[in-house]
Structure 1
């Protein structure tokens, strides 16, 4: 069994389609991919995937194997990154990730701390969805990330900011004239929900609406903050979103606080327990200083 067998199997399982996995993820032909999956099943000794009207789905054996395959690849990737770092010990490197939009708030102060301690450090920065950042931390591709506390990863999370949710709406919306918005005011409005890349936030919004005694079915579901604002403006929809997005709003979109006890979502610094980077240790020792330098953090 080779690593490519695991990568091919995971790609098919995650996309739910041999065609999509072959063309968009693996850049190979579908017949070749099918042969690789068949070779893997022969080596495992069990059927892992079956075709259905909805595409390709995992068998019970496939579901069990998927978790182990993903863990195995994660460990291999982490080992590769650790070996690369060990091969170049003279150059100190640090890789940071940010939940899209938060780099505007946290990156300048984070760089101030890093440069003050290590003027010649090589810092790489990426912006992504929270689950993807967590996956990169687990694989050793990032040393530290500002993200949500994703429950499916064995990472350490240290909360740095509690972000209240606000209502996003077109600037000329009927609710824009109010100082605050009740959850009941959202009934009947085109609602934009959070997609699969915002699982933590989506769960908080769903719980808040249930506790408020209202049921809203989203007309659109998106993940990217820029797309959320675009849809708010173009479809005249409303949504609930963390307050940091107010830093990114165009003129056509405004926000209003929620009335009463508004829900909040935590932003955390996340890292892998197995990461022995001295730069990571140094950065974490300055975390209180970092929080103090960012307005609104720690609250």
Structure 2
């Protein structure tokens, strides 16, 4: 029989946020300390991830914090014509303070404050939780501008995001603020069903992991949000069971090769650093359908 109405309702509820809020407030104060070696640089601190997007569920642990260097920016010029690229290059001026220097300073400062709890990783700086402080990932990055036009007269059309570099020099681009803004718009356009449904699918994933139905890591929260972002707005709503069934059936039948990430800057499915392997998405949906039918 299908998952009960009551179970779906429980899964739709946000997880607790008190410890998360306290952790973020403390970490933001530390990162913004006037005594830090980078304090006089131009930077911004903000959240990304489930807590930022109000899709957190019980069991979500990490606080995802972004520290973005704003005194320089990187570019994606792939959408410009040769003339537009030449025009941009003629107007650019190189920065003097590097992202690598900024990251080293942030690691140094966090290590001074949190000692051995700080573990720099390939992408983010992990800070182990202690007492009431939750685990946190601090992503040090720079501004990114993806130019779609660069006219001789008037303002360019540009999407703003972030980027960082892996140890092998690979640049990873993403657009967390666009992701968050678009998810909020989707939520409003679905009469507050979108984030509600994201939490249901995330709790279903967690349950299937606990029951060893799917592997941990098969369906990251970011990609669940992106997958559901592609569901047409009229499919959301009704009873809890109707909403879940209509959304799941549409996802199973859709041409998922055309799905976009919620930031609308990348396709959702693929094999890059910022996309979800199509086979993982398919495995998750097949497992979700089987769980729905056999619950």
More helix by share: 1
Please identify which structure carries the higher strand content.
1
Does TM, normalized by the shorter one, top 0.5?
no
TM bucket normalised to smaller: under 0.3
TM-score (norm 2): 0.24
Q: Which has the larger radius of gyration?
A: 1
